[in-house]
Amino acid sequence: MDVALKAIADPRRREILRLVWSKELPASDIASHFHDVTRSAVSQHLGVLRNANLVCERRDANRRLYRANVEEMANLRTFLDQYWSGRLNRLKSAAEAAQRDKDARNG
């Protein structure tokens, strides 16, 4: 999971995921969306996403086509949802305990 979290930490990689979320795109089309980044850099970003299993690559003759790995993205979302809900529940419990202590002191 750490590899996937590190992969999505970069805003360009998140944008690549948005581009390939609902359709398969060749690397050249993905690179054309980024005017401030070289094709080589986009290729490196795709490699990071592929290594994190967040995109799937398919070869079609001499082209490489990419699409989001929706199943792995769902696993990542589940992890994040559980992480945040667990943290929020602990924060809620701590706040409620602090309020009870305050009420007991004042009451």
Residues 6+ apart with CB under 8 A from 88: none
Per residue in 26-37, pLDDT tens?
A: 999 999 999 999
Q: What is the pLDDT of residue 86?
A: 66
pTM over 0.85: no
pLDDT of residue 23: 95
Number of domains comprising the chain:
1
Expressed as residue numbers, the domain containing 62 is: 2-106
Place of tokens 């602090």: 98
> Which CATH number does the domain housing residue 92 bear?
1.10.10.10
**How high is the pLDDT of residue 81?**
84
Residue 76 clears pLDDT 80, i.e. is over it: yes
Among the listed residues 3, 12, 10, 48, the one whose alpha carbon sits nearest the alpha carbon of residue 30: 12
- 60: β partners: 63
- Better-scored residue on pLDDT, 29 or 100: 29
Q: What does the pLDDT look like over 6-64, one tens digit per residue? A: 999 999 999 999 999 999 999 999 999 999 999 999 999 999 999 999 999 999 999 99
